């Protein structure tokens, strides 16, 4: 059975319409899929931005806590220095009292005994030992201040490392975001 020319044209038109309908449906399905992907990418970018903002807020809180700790340490050190100053004032007062007592003893000893010189030599040794002991304590305090300085330097290094990590994270995030945008743009073309 052979088909007439007119039947062939009808079949051709019907096939053409069917193919066109099928292509249009596929195009719309693909278009919807691309739109869904773009929405997902936008949501993910928004989520990334929210995470970064949250990270920045957390870091800001951490910096505030570190500042508070530095302030507390400074106040604590100021209080300790005030206590040390008070103690030195008390030691000065005691030395003044001791000096007065020694003057009285010297007068009495000069009048009464010739052995006073030996006792004064022993007292001089004690004072020298006390002075050396105080010098050692001051040296220990200097060492402690050096250790505190080292701790501050260590904390500064840690803060710098965190900042470097944040910079790297931001560059990577920016790079990934830019790559995703370029990929979507090129894919839509």
What does each C-alpha distance from 117 to 69, 110, 123, 145 come to in angstroms?
55, 9, 10, 41
Q: How many domains does the chain have?
A: 1
55's CB contacts (< 8 A; 6+ apart) are 166
Q: Show the domain range for 145.
A: 5-188
User: Averaged in consecutive runs of 10 residues, what is the pLDDT profile of the chain (189 residues)?
Assistant: 77 86 80 85 92 92 92 91 90 88 79 69 88 88 85 86 89 89 85
Q: What is residue 17's predicted lDDT score, i.e. its pLDDT? A: 87
pTM here is: 0.31
pLDDT for 155 equals: 84
The confidence score (pLDDT) of residue 65 equals 93
pLDDT score, position 68: 94
Longest dimension (CA), the chain: 158
């Amino acid at each position: 059975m052979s088909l007439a020319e007119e039947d062939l044209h009808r079949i051709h038109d019907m096939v053409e319409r069917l193919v066109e309908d099928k292509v249009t449906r596929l195009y719309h399905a693909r278009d919807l899929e691309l739109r869904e992907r773009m929405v997902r990418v936008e949501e993910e970018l928004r989520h990334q931005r929210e995470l970064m903002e949250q990270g920045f807020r957390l870091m800001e809180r951490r910096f505030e806590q570190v500042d508070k700790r530095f302030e507390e340490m400074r106040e604590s050190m100021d209080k300790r220095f005030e206590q040390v100053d008070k103690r030195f004032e008390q030691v000065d007062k005691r030395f003044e009292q001791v000096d007065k007592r020694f003057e009285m003893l010297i007068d009495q000893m000069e009048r009464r005994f010739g052995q006073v010189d030996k006792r004064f030599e022993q007292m001089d040794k004690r004072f020298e030992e006390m002075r050396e002991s105080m010098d050692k304590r001051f040296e220990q305090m200097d060492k402690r201040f050096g250790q505190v300085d080292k701790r501050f330097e260590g904390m500064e290094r840690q803060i710098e490392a965190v900042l470097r990590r944040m910079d790297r994270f931001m560059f990577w995030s920016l790079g990934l975001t830019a790559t995703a945008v370029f990929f979507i743009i090129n894919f839509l073309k």
